[in-house]
Amino acid sequence: MQLWYPRRERGLVQGLTHSASRLGAAVAPPIVVLIIGGGHLALTGELGIFLPALGWRSVFYVCAIVGLLWALWWYLSYRNLPEQHHRVNDAELAVIRGVDGDGRTRTAATETKASVPWLTLLRSGNMWAIMLAYFTYIYCLGFFLTWLPSYLVEARHIDLTHAGLLTSLPLFAGVIGDTAGGLATDWLLHRTGNTRLARRSVAITGLLGCAAFIVPAALTDDTYTAVACLTGAMFFLECTIGPSWAVPMDTSGTFSGTVSGLMNMFGNFGAAISPVAFAYLAQHFNWQVPFIVTAVLLVAGGTIWAFWLDPERSCVEKKAAPEAALAAAA
């Protein structure tokens, strides 16, 4: 994405791809139920398709086929650099790369392998801030991707079929939140030219907004109010995706893939811990406690964004501007 899109579009393209990810998660539960149990899929009026019950193993086969088809499509269509793609013209390259003072399109970054400055990365306070902030996001996301159906069935006493449908609502809200957050951070960057303001304000609003919705979701006695609050929480949570994934590109130049990978790895420690923590807290206390703990972590994440994480400070060089490494490669 750093090589294919200009800086002013980084938030949006990250938001769009994650929107597609959440859309897949949103449509999956009812489709999975249909594959397992079969049923009539209405198209229009009396027209429709009757799907036989295929059983739970068939879900894995369907996912495998979809994955293989996508891999083939990616292999045939994607190129590492825009310059390598026959459908990219000079005008598009000028937009992607920008132009030098003499009006010529900037030279593209090459695919030459560079030695990753691991020691500098691991000593970078900004790198640790990026990882910890993403940890708080993924920890909360873990609930929506793992425990939400069980929560609706066990704590809210909704039957499995309706739980599958209600589970999709927060995920659909996440689809909108991903794109909205990406648009917002890019719009702010375009209007102000201030990377700190553009990235921080959207991420902090998203994390604190999620915390503000997730607490009443836990405390309310009404099931549908709880689902509505969880839907709002997921919307705000996903607004953080655009700035979160734009920051590695802003701060790491040609090593943005490495920094993105480190951020995602550390964040997924949260994904591993979250389901276990939710289960433990719900079993030994009640269903409200894990939500309160999550809200505290979200506030901590917002604090990291506000006072520690700097979108304009390089993670890979001690005294480099955010785009220094990419400029050097160019």
* CB neighbourhood size of 193 (10 A): 10
Model pLDDT, residue 324? 45
Q: Which DSSP state fits 152?
A: I
Report how far residue 325's alpha carbon sits from residue 322's, in angstroms, rounded to the nearest whole number: 8
Report how far residue 27's alpha carbon sits from residue 242's, in angstroms, rounded to the nearest whole number: 22
Q: Which two tokens stand for residue 29?
A: 């539960």
Model pLDDT, residue 180? 94
Report how far residue 152's alpha carbon sits from residue 170's, in angstroms, rounded to the nearest whole number: 12
Task: Tell me which amino acid residue 280 is.
Answer: Y
Contact of 185 with 242, CB cutoff 8 Å: yes
* CB neighbourhood size of 88 (10 A): 15
* Residues with Cβ within 8 Å of residue 109, at least 6 apart in sequence: 3, 81, 254, 326, 329, 330
Model pLDDT, residue 151? 84
Task: Give me the domains of the chain, ranges plus CATH numbers.
Answer: 112-329 (1.20.1250.20)
Q: Which DSSP state fits 99?
A: B
Contact of 290 with 277, CB cutoff 8 Å: yes
Contact of 136 with 296, CB cutoff 8 Å: no
pLDDT tens for the chain, 330 residues: list them: 888 888 888 888 888 888 888 888 778 877 887 888 776 555 455 555 666 778 888 889 999 999 999 999 999 999 988 889 989 998 888 888 875 444 555 555 555 566 889 999 999 999 999 999 999 999 999 998 888 888 888 888 787 667 767 878 898 899 999 999 999 999 999 999 999 999 999 999 999 999 999 999 999 999 889 999 999 999 999 999 999 999 998 898 889 889 999 999 999 999 999 999 999 999 999 889 999 999 999 999 999 999 999 999 999 876 544 444 444 444
The sign of the dihedral angle between the CA atoms of 317, 320, 321, 325 is: negative
SS3 111: coil
SS3 51: strand
Q: How far apart are the first and last CA of the chain?
A: 16
Contact of 105 with 99, CB cutoff 8 Å: yes
Closest to 15 (Cα-Cα) out of 166, 165, 179: 179
